[in-house]
Structure 1
């Protein structure tokens, strides 16, 4: 056997072995869960919160929190990022309760007090179950879906299958395959990714208003990702750039809170385009 062929075969074997390893260990890279003991008691100052547990059809338990306000205008289903548990994420509920909205947060399988074998299909099924439970109590026109980072894909999938009032995406990705591809450009990710999370595909089937919030200096998921997503359903979508914002610090920008307030408290306005400058062309000198 020629030396060059021997080398090629070894390279191919190593490549295949690495691909197989990545297939099985990617869960540990994508998810950074925080486990909580069953007797852990949630507490948030100046917030009224109720804890609940939902048992799924395969025997898993999905643990969640319901932040309550008096005379709610609606409810926000907040789908968090890939780290920690709702123990810490619950601190962000105030950004919605202050506007008169109840907030529901859940931990994905393996996070916090939630149990069950994790997979993209299982998490999607769990979240639809949670959505159905909310829909039993609240009309869909009062339900807001909010997806943060990892949760943006799941929120988009839910919006594509239901009819919520609106979809808010915070630092969303085009797909997890694309994000991962930035760090492993030579791996067959389209084949080995167990969590491809194609947000861009699901967004095509969303029929409610879409609001995208993204920091212009996000080094994990670039701002240009949201620019591309905003072009999928342009008539339904508005993009809100947080100038100077990164991936994990948008809540520290006043502009984020101002934009979020405008999004959830304002009603869409119909525009009579015939009364605008639409179609007017600039003259050569302008």
Structure 2
């Protein structure tokens, strides 16, 4: 067998091996769960909480916490990132309870006290089940969906199928396939990924106001991703930029908390463009322009 053919066969075998590894090990690459014993007791300073366990139709149990505000104005369904459990993520509930909103956080399958086999379809179904439970007690006009990193895709999917007051995306991705392409551009990730998470597709069907927050120094999911997402439904989307913000430290920026406060307190309203430059903003390039 010619040398070039040996090299080609060997290259194909290596490529096939890498593809198989990506397919079978991606769950360990994408998810970094922290598992908690069933008798673990959650405790947060100056926070009143109530623990819930919801059983799914396939027998899994989804564990969650409700952080209670005094005289709540609504509820934030907070979909967290891909690591640890709500044990650690719970500390971020104060960013909403201090504004008078209850916060519901849940652990995805295999995280914390939650059980069940993890698939994209199963998690989407679980989140809809939890959303339905919220709707039994709270009108949708008082529900805010907040998706952080990995949770941004699930939050977008929920918003596309329901009618919450608003959708807030924190450091969202265009799709996990796109994120993966940055690190393995030579792999057919659209075929290999079990969790493609096409946020961009789901956003097309979102009817509520969309607020996107992203840091300019995010090395994991670049800021340009949110710029691209903001163009999908531009009339109902607002992009908030945290100058210098990374992927995991937005909460350390004062500007982030001001943005969050403005978003939560915002009310949809029409803008009167009468007498503004909007009416001649699309004028022909051939016309005289003032310098």
TM-score band by shorter chain is over 0.9
For 1:203, the equivalent position in structure 2 comes to 203
Distance in 2, Cα, partners of 1:273 & 1:284? 21
Match of 2:104 in 1: 104
Corresponding position: 1:47 with 2:47: yes
User: After alignment, is 123-132 or 271-280 more displaced?
Assistant: 271-280
Q: Does 1:78 align with 2:63?
A: no
Deviation, structure 1 residue 170: 0.1
Deviation at 1:214, TM superposition (A): 0.2
Which moved further from structure 2: 2-11 or 112-121? 2-11
Q: How does 1:119-268 map to 2 (within 5 A)?
A: 119-268=119-268
In 1, distance between residues paired with 2:101 and 2:275?
35
Deviation of 1:121 after TM superposition, in Å, equals 0.6
How big is each residue's C-alpha offset from its partner over 1:101-141, in whole Å with a ceiling of 9 and x where there is no partner?
01000000000000000011110000000000001111111
Q: Which residue of 2 aligns with 1:285?
A: 290
DSSP 3-state at the match of 1:278: helix
Deviations 1:207-250 (A, max 9, x none): 10000000011011000000000000000100000000000000
- In structure 1, what is the equivalent of residue 37 of structure 2? 37
Separation (CA, whole Å) in 2 of partners of 1:153 and 1:110: 18
Aligned partner of residue 62 in structure 2, secondary structure? strand
For residue 79 of structure 1, report the CA deviation from its aligned partner: 0.3
Question: How far is 1:273 from its partner?
Answer: 2.1
- Matches of 2:110 and 2:275 in 1, distance apart? 54
Secondary structure class of the residue paired with 2:241: strand
**Aligned residues: CA RMSD:** 1.1
Q: Name the SS of the counterpart of 1:102 in structure 2.
A: strand
Q: What TM-score comes out, normalization by structure 1 length?
A: 0.98
Residues in 1 aligned to 2:267 and 2:68: alpha-carbon distance in whole angstroms: 23
Tell me the SS of whatever aligns to 2:103.
Answer: strand
Give the number of aligned pairs.
286
How far the C-alpha of 1:276 sits from its partner, in A, is: 2.6
1:274 Cα deviation after fit: 2.4
Superimposed CA distance per residue, residues 136-174 of structure 1 (whole angstroms, 9 cap, x where no aligned partner): 111111100000000000000000011100000000000
CA distance in 1, matches of 2:169, 2:153: 9
How far has the Cα of 1:7 moved from its partner?
1.8
Q: Which runs of 5 or more structure 1 residues have no equivalent in the other structure? A: none
Match of 1:235, SS state, is helix
Q: Deviation at 1:270?
A: 1.2
